[in-house]
Amino acid sequence: MYWDPMPTAVASAELPVIGPEHRTLGNPDDYLRGRWEERDWRNVPGPFYGANTDNCCVGRLIAPDHIVYEDSYGSEVVFRQPHNTHETHLLLSAAWADPFCGYAYDGDDHWTLELIRDWWADRAKLAEWLSALEREWSVHDCDREREAAQGLRAYSSYLHNGLETSLQNYAFWLDNRRPAQPHEALPSLSS
């Protein structure tokens, strides 16, 4: 079943930043300024995505179950959308820590069933990228890369076990603006 994180995100201004800062998140429009046209292709469909985020590798320190790094610039990619208030808070805190303000939360305004199907159709390319980079980073001399490889393994596992159903539930929600009931069929991701 799809859980909509947007009410939590919209009402998050007074939540404390998770991490070393002792501040509140503030207005999400102030730090979630990524542009749809600049999003990284590896972001899973959903309301949150990274688009030209920083390369300081902070996101996984705050939200390791939701963020991985790409290998060209070290930008942050959302590989799992939040499923509850706490996970949304973690993802927002990671986005708040991005000095480039490259995260966004307007994916619901852009994703459609057809775009989700197109993204899903490229999953072999994604799986190949995950596997190759995980092999490289898992034997790296640097602890940061070895830790980042754990995120790539988690993303790969999700890609092969659970992501398809999550995307089907998200596609249903986009079309109906409510979660599917147990008796309702979810849309196919095949064109």
Map tokens 């993802």 to a residue: 91
Residues 6+ apart with CB under 8 A from 66: 78, 79, 80, 81, 82, 87, 90, 91, 94
CA separation (Å) from 66 to 49, 130, 179, 181?
10, 15, 21, 26
* Structural domain boundaries in the chain: 6-176
Map tokens 């805190």 to a residue: 93
pLDDT band of 186, cuts 50, 70, 90: very high
Instruction: With a cut of 90, say whether residue 54 has pLDDT above it.
Output: no
Going by C-alpha positions, the residue among 101, 97, 79 that lies closest to residue 89 is 97
State the pLDDT at residue 19: 77
Instruction: With a cut of 80, say whether residue 70 has pLDDT above it.
Output: yes
Spatial contact of 105 and 88, defined as CB atoms under 8 Å apart: no
pLDDT digits (tens, 9 = 90+) for 89-146: 999 999 999 999 999 999 999 999 999 999 999 999 999 999 999 999 888 888 888 8
pLDDT digits (tens, 9 = 90+) for 172-182: 999 999 999 99
pTM for this entry: 0.95
pLDDT digits (tens, 9 = 90+) for 135-149: 998 888 888 888 899
